[in-house]
Amino acid sequence: MVKKEDNTEGRLTVTLAGLRLDNPVIPASGTFGYGKEFAELYDLDILGSISFKGTTVEPRYGNPLPRIAECTSGMLNSVGLQNPGMDAVRSEELKDMAEIFHKPVIANISGFAPEEYAKLAEAMDKESQVGIIEVNVSCPNVHNGGMAFGTDPESAAEITRTVKKATGKPVFIKLSPNVTDIVSIAGACEDAGADGLSLINTVLGMRIDIRSRKPVLANKVGGFSGPAVFPLAVRMVWQVAHAVGIPVMGMGGISSAEDVIEMMMAGASAVQVGAANLRDPFACRKIILDLPRVMDSLGIDRLEDIIGIV
């Protein structure tokens, strides 16, 4: 748990679409599972929230192996939304999460048609643990869906409207960086009723094994994440946060308390930590415990005071 003195008078607290978080640090979907493995290492209630593994209507095995590759200052993945499916997540995973995390969670959902997004949103709307629904229209590792909806303003808006009709919970649309103009897509989602935005998802990348003369990943291309994408993420969060009037969750290469503060200065109301969890399972805990020290060194009294100051 966060020591009381580390969050005196709400220094670390932030608000997302009416949801009050003890701190802005959230493990990103797909990098923290449902928290079970991490709960064996530390008390997860130190976290602001958890965006759990992306859920589809039907179970998915994901893409063929190999689907993970190391890169300089980052990693490639083409996992392909592996998950047990909506019904198993509701009947098993969420019940287990409630035993190890006692705050509202973020339900990350992904579909291959508007009707699937609606079905997922209706299902997650019934779960009391779910505080926010995060709509993935930006996954680069699935075919005929995912990112296809997030690369066009009208398609992204259609999914936003569909999900908003199916739930009364706050809806955040997770945007892709693999577009020409992310601001226009963000604006279309806001106009369609989105309560917030999450960005960025992974950047399309590729590695080739020069000995075998074949792509390293079975899927050939995958999502590139890690510290190398952080400047790109900061730029896009800054652009979007200053163009819309809804909160933004910033992500992309965050691995330190300094990164959190930089991302919030760019305009993020909260942040998600992704690849860092795979490199160090204590990453989120370390960042949260280090935030008060870094804030003191920079003369920051409350994190909410620095959101979008640049």
pLDDT score of 148 more than 90: no
Q: What is the pLDDT of residue 140?
A: 54
72 belongs to a structural domain:
no
Average pLDDT for 61-76: 92
pLDDT score of 300 more than 50: yes
Domain with 266 in it: 4-63+80-204+226-306
> Which of 71, 139, 189, 284 is the catalytic position?
139
Q: What is the pLDDT of residue 7?
A: 52
pLDDT score of 4 more than 80: no
Q: What is the pLDDT of residue 159?
A: 95
Q: What is the pLDDT of residue 149?
A: 80
pLDDT score of 144 more than 80: no
For 129, residues 6+ apart whose C-beta sits below 8 A from its C-beta are: 94, 97, 98, 104, 105
158 belongs to a structural domain:
yes
pLDDT category, 150, cuts 50, 70, 90?
A: confident
pLDDT score of 2 more than 50: no
Q: What is the pLDDT of residue 8?
A: 53
pLDDT score of 25 more than 70: yes
What is the secondary structure of 140-178 as a DSSP string? TTSSSSGGGGTSSHHHHHHHHHHHHHH-SS-EEEEPPSS
The mean pLDDT of the chain is 93
Task: Check residue 35 and report its DSSP letter.
Answer: S
pLDDT score of 224 more than 50: yes
Using CA atoms, how far apart are residues 276 and 171, in angstroms rounded to an integer? Answer: 25
pLDDT score of 143 more than 90: no
The residue count of the chain comes to 310
In this structure, what CATH number is given to the domain that contains residue 19? 3.20.20.70
213 belongs to a structural domain:
no
The CA distances from residue 259 to 6, 125, 154, 264, 306, in Å, are 18, 32, 33, 9, 13
pLDDT category, 147, cuts 50, 70, 90?
A: low
69 belongs to a structural domain:
no
Q: What is the pLDDT of residue 191?
A: 98
10 belongs to a structural domain:
yes
269 belongs to a structural domain:
yes
293 belongs to a structural domain:
yes
174 belongs to a structural domain:
yes
pLDDT score of 141 more than 80: no
The total of structural domains in the chain comes to: 1
Q: Is 139 a known active-site residue? A: yes
